[in-house]
């Protein structure tokens, strides 16, 4: 007990012996160590990047701040790596800390060394660790969930259990990937919120999504306003009825109307028997001419 008290309050350096470097770590773990974690300081130049890193954006300002913190206090939380066959290591999590440590010109960095055998495990650990630390933006999380589904063959229920989230939350993140690229980038840049993005998803028309997205940027529209607009668009779509091709007898009516008005005429017929007659005009004088024809008392169709 006495020896354990002497290291309290001395930071991570007291917990990791200075002699515990890469030269003292077996490249091939002993059988009884296969599923255990080892903690050691390893050279940063022996660490390869994680090819399954879910993070896309690394803020330069926060990296600079982390670098200064590391210069002053060291790396407080170890990164996580796995062993490679060539006596090197591959990063699993902690890329920000590793980048900042390199920027701070550290030669060694504390790391947990764990055994990972498959690509699926690498993707899972990389994603889950970042989600638990709340370091990913919504699109990065969505892309990570998509990879878990496509490359690890996990269901949304499986992902929910592994990340301790509701299945509906997982589904809502994945739906973000249906948005146009410019809106996804806007979400990554924090120009809009996740609430804005989820409201925009409910608008099926891409042009309308972009139109309302621009309204958000220009007018600082709230999520409530976007949700209201989305509901209005959905209501209009629900009340619309499928339009079918005109019956042959109506085609002849269209031809007569075009001759009478001297302009383009369209009839839109719906399955419920309703429809529209559209008379087009291209100038004010043409509009007045059409009004005169409509005001004639005689029947215009014999």
Q: In this predicted structure, which of 26-40, 101-115, 172-186 has the lowest mean pLDDT? A: 26-40
* pLDDT recorded at residue 133: 66
**244: which strand partners?**
269
Overall average pLDDT of the 80-103 stretch: 88
Same domain, 199 and 289: no
- Would you name the residues annotated as active-site residues? 95
**Alpha carbon distance 262, 223 (integer Å):** 48
CATH number at residue 83: 3.90.1530.30
Q: Does pLDDT of 111 surpass 70? A: yes
Q: Is residue 148 one of the residues assigned to a domain?
A: no
Overall average pLDDT of the 79-104 stretch: 88
Contact 290, 277 (CB under 8 A): no
Out of 59, 85, 118, pick the residue that ends a domain: 118
Same domain, 228 and 248: no
Same domain, 31 and 105: yes
Same domain, 254 and 209: no
Label residue 262 by pLDDT band (50, 70, 90). confident
Same domain, 92 and 113: yes
Average pLDDT, the chain: 77
Same domain, 103 and 13: yes
Label residue 7 by pLDDT band (50, 70, 90). very low
Q: Determine what percent of the chain is predicted with pLDDT higher than 90.
A: 23
* pLDDT recorded at residue 10: 37
Label residue 89 by pLDDT band (50, 70, 90). very high
* pLDDT recorded at residue 302: 43
Same domain, 20 and 84: yes
pLDDT, tens digit, 9 for 90 and up, residues 209-237: 999 999 899 888 889 888 888 887 766 55
Same domain, 77 and 111: yes
**Alpha carbon distance 75, 42 (integer Å):** 12
Same domain, 40 and 75: yes
Q: Is residue 222 one of the residues assigned to a domain?
A: yes
Give the residue numbers spanning the domain of 202: 194-240
* pLDDT recorded at residue 94: 85
Identify the residue with better confidence: 265 or 193.
193
Overall average pLDDT of the 44-73 stretch: 82
Nearest Cα neighbor of 122 from 48, 43, 45 is 48
Same domain, 57 and 105: yes
Q: Is residue 126 one of the residues assigned to a domain?
A: no
The token pair that represents 49 in the structure block? 């990047």
**Alpha carbon distance 260, 254 (integer Å):** 10
Q: Is residue 154 one of the residues assigned to a domain?
A: no
Q: How many CB atoms lie within 10 A of CB 195?
A: 13
Please tell me what DSSP assigns to residue 81.
Answer: E
Out of 118, 153, 181, pick the residue that ends a domain: 118
Task: Please name the helix (run of DSSP H) or strand (run of DSSP E) that holds residue 91, with its range, or none.
Answer: strand 89-93
Q: Is residue 66 one of the residues assigned to a domain?
A: yes
Q: Is residue 180 one of the residues assigned to a domain?
A: no
Out of 85, 118, 151, pick the residue that ends a domain: 118
Distances (CA, A) of 160 to 105, 121, 157: 39, 16, 5
Q: Is residue 40 one of the residues assigned to a domain?
A: yes
Same domain, 206 and 265: no
Same domain, 53 and 107: yes
Q: How many domains does the chain have?
A: 3
* pLDDT recorded at residue 161: 87
* pLDDT recorded at residue 261: 79
pLDDT, tens digit, 9 for 90 and up, residues 9-53: 333 333 334 434 444 444 434 433 434 468 889 999 999 988 877
* DSSP for 49-73, written as a single string: --TT-------HHHHHHHHHHHHHH
Identify the residue with better confidence: 5 or 55.
55
Identify the residue with better confidence: 180 or 2.
180
Contact 25, 40 (CB under 8 A): yes
- pTM across the whole model: 0.56
CA angle 114, 117, 121 (to 5 degrees): 85
């Amino acid at each position: 007990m006495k020896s354990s008290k002497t290291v309290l309050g001395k930071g991570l350096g007291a917990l990791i012996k200075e002699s515990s470097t890469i030269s003292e770590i077996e490249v091939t773990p002993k059988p009884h160590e296969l599923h255990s974690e080892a903690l050691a300081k390893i050279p940063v130049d022996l660490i390869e990047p994680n090819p399954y890193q879910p993070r896309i954006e690394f803020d330069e300002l926060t990296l600079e701040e982390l670098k200064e913190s590391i210069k002053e206090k060291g790396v407080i939380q170890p990164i996580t790596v796995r062993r490679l066959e060539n006596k090197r290591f591959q990063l699993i999590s902690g890329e920000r800390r590793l980048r900042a440590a390199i920027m701070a010109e550290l030669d060694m960095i504390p790391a947990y060394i764990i055994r990972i055998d498959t690509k699926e495990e690498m993707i899972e650990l990389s994603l889950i660790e970042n989600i638990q630390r709340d370091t990913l933006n919504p699109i990065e999380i969505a892309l990570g969930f998509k990879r878990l589904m496509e490359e690890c063959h996990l269901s949304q229920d499986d992902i929910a259990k592994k990340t301790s989230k509701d299945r509906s939350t997982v589904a809502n993140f994945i739906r973000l990937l249906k948005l146009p690229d410019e809106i996804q980038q806007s979400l990554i840049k924090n120009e809009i919120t996740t609430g804005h993005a989820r409201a925009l998803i409910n608008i099926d028309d891409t042009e309308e999504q972009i139109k309302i997205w621009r309204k958000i940027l220009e007018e600082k529209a709230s999520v409530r306003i976007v949700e209201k607009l989305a509901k209005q668009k959905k209501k209009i779509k629900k009340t619309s009825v499928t339009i079918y091709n005109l019956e042959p007898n109506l085609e002849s009516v269209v031809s007569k109307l075009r001759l009478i008005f001297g302009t383009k005429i369209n009839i839109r017929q719906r399955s419920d028997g309703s429809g529209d007659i559209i008379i087009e005009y291209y100038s004010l004088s043409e509009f007045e001419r059409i009004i005169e024809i409509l005001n004639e008392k005689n029947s215009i169709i014999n």
